[in-house]
A and B are shown apart, each in its own frame.
Chain A
Amino acid sequence: MRMLWLGLIALCSAGALSPAQAGTMFLGGYPSQLMVIDEGKGAVTQEVDLKTGLPMSMRLSDDQKLLYATTITTSGIEVMDVATRKIVNSFSLNTPATHYRFTGGVPDRTGRYFYILGTKIDKGVDSYRVSKQQFMVVDLQEKKVVRTAELEPDDQKFSYRGVLMLSPDGKTLYAFRDKIIVVNTADLKTVDHFDLAKPDFPGMQDVSFGGGVGRLQKPGQFVSLFETQDPYIQNKVFGIARLDLDTRQFTFTPIGPSPKALSGLEVSPDGKSGYTVAINGDLGNQRCEFWSFDLDKNKALEKSEFQCRRRFYFGISGNGRKLYIYGAGFDVAVYDAKTLKPEADWQLTHDTTISGMVIIQ
């Protein structure tokens, strides 16, 4: 009976998204695949094998023609042509004596260079030497790291995990962590810090950080939820920040006191509606809610509790009408973005990795 019910709601969900509106979703799968999913059908339509191993992050180029995936098994970078689903570049940074650790990166507009943040591990005669955290520039043609620069000592205390963004003119790199680090790409030197932290979401790591793995809503602008904390009573407040990547200016509109944890902001294609997941309580007392926002007025609108998993990721459909909960398993739970109620459960062909979700229309 339960299967029949799930089948019926899956059918209704598929009908709600006509093929013209349906997008194509990419999800990382174990052990070394990218799953291509038709949002209209709610099913995997193609699998792309990654030679360098297990996908840990995905990043769409600004023109949405190339998909960059990083892998952890051999610290690889794979570039897929979105139209043909063919891997057009694939290599590993690791050598027998040197390994790299990084979780994601951002390509420049020329498609020649790929910026990452991570560490380098050199194998010595009697020990492994782990470098400090570095910004690294990978030449995608020469298939190796061509420039590096260590982070400042104060920035070494936080994990190297975090989303990177590049300004459209390619002159400024942003690292979103406990603070926003502003870096000059010419010499990889840190030139500024913004005291805004990405929301703390245990297990979410660096995926789903606004608009689907760092997708820009407008060229040159990054919109997401951020938290800030006053230095006296440490009152954490969350709000919506809009960062102009070229001018390095940001505006922050506070909305209210932070819950225990917030996911990033997922934004509808028209840029008017935003959604996040708020978590209160911990472990057995964990409670999860969808929150919706009016981004024109920077105002919270609705909230609705849902049964959350112990560890999960959050995404939005290409047309902005569905919300997705996925991760720690092989299914995607689908919710209606308007009512915030469950609609369907899509079963995939692989367990999903923590590489996040990329959707194209």
Chain B
Amino acid sequence: MKHLRPVNRKAERIDQAASMIEEDVVALQQQQPPTPPKPHVPMGCTLSFSPGWEVDAGGGTAGLCQPVERDIYDCYVTCFWPVQVPDHVNYSPDWASNCAIATKDWRKLDLVFP
């Protein structure tokens, strides 16, 4: 990326946003301890293995939300798992309108066709 430079205002804004999350030069004492590497969890339209569902972020299966419907709504609202559930904020605000309790009434969830 260091060989690329923004040539218009939109690209400049992207560059500025990216630069805000880059690491700064810090004293050794100020370095955070390294985080251990996590397993690669593939994301895809049908092959999504995500926290709270089939496996968690560490690749494990213990301690997941059971049943998975317990956690489905907050995926829907916070868009953390955008592939598996519709997006509440932008495209499908009515997906859960007829389903008060997902664990009991999941059949009432609306169908969404892309």
Task: Give A residues with C-beta under 8 Å from B.
Answer: 29-33, 53-54, 56, 72-74, 127, 153, 156-157, 231-234, 282-286, 309-311, 328-330, 348-351, 353-354
Contacts and interface: CB of A to CB of B under 8 A. Distances in A.
A128 to B, nearest CB: 10
B21 interface: yes
Nearest to A53: B93
Interface string B57-83: 110111111000011011001100000
Contacts of A351: 70, 73, 100-103
Q: Which 9 A-B pairs have the closest CB atoms?
A: A284-B62, A284-B60, A329-B70, A350-B100, A283-B58, A330-B101, A283-B56, A284-B63, A310-B65
A328 to B, nearest CB: 5
Contacts of A32: 97
Interface size class for chain B? 35 or more
Dominant secondary structure of chain A at its interface with chain B:
loop
Contact of B58 (A54, A127, A231, A282): A282
B103 A329 contact: yes
A168 to B, nearest CB: 33
Contacts of B63: 283-286, 310
Contacts of B71: 310-311, 328
B62 to A, nearest CB: 3
A234 B33 CA distance: 9
A140 to B, nearest CB: 23
A56 B89 CA distance: 12
A56 B76 CA distance: 13
B70 A328 contact: yes
B10 interface: yes
Nearest to B104: A330
Given A74-B93, A156-B20, A351-B101, 15 more contacts: A30-B73, A31-B100, A33-B100, A127-B10, A283-B57, A283-B60, A283-B63, A286-B63, A310-B56, A310-B64, A310-B65, A328-B70, A329-B70, A350-B100, A351-B100
A232 B29 CA distance: 5
Nearest to A350: B100
Contacts, number: 92
Contacts of A354: 74, 77-78
A309 B74 CA distance: 14
B99 interface: yes
B86 interface: no
A310 to B, nearest CB: 5
8 contacts: A30-B99, A54-B88, A73-B93, A284-B58, A284-B62, A286-B63, A310-B63, A328-B70
A286 B71 CA distance: 17
A157 B21 contact: yes
Contact of B62 (A283, A328, A353): A283
A157 B100 contact: no
Contacts of A30: 73, 96, 99-102
A22 B78 CA distance: 33
B93 A284 contact: no
A328 B101 contact: no
B46 interface: no
Contact of A31 (B10, B97, B104): B97
Interface in B12-55: 20-21, 29-30, 32-33, 51-52
A353 B72 CA distance: 11
A328 B102 contact: no
A127 B14 CA distance: 12
Contacts of B101: 30, 330, 348-351
Contact of B99 (A31, A53, A284): A31
A177 to B, nearest CB: 16
Contacts of A286: 63
Contacts of B10: 127
A246 B64 CA distance: 44
A350 to B, nearest CB: 4
B82 to A, nearest CB: 15
A18 to B, nearest CB: 30
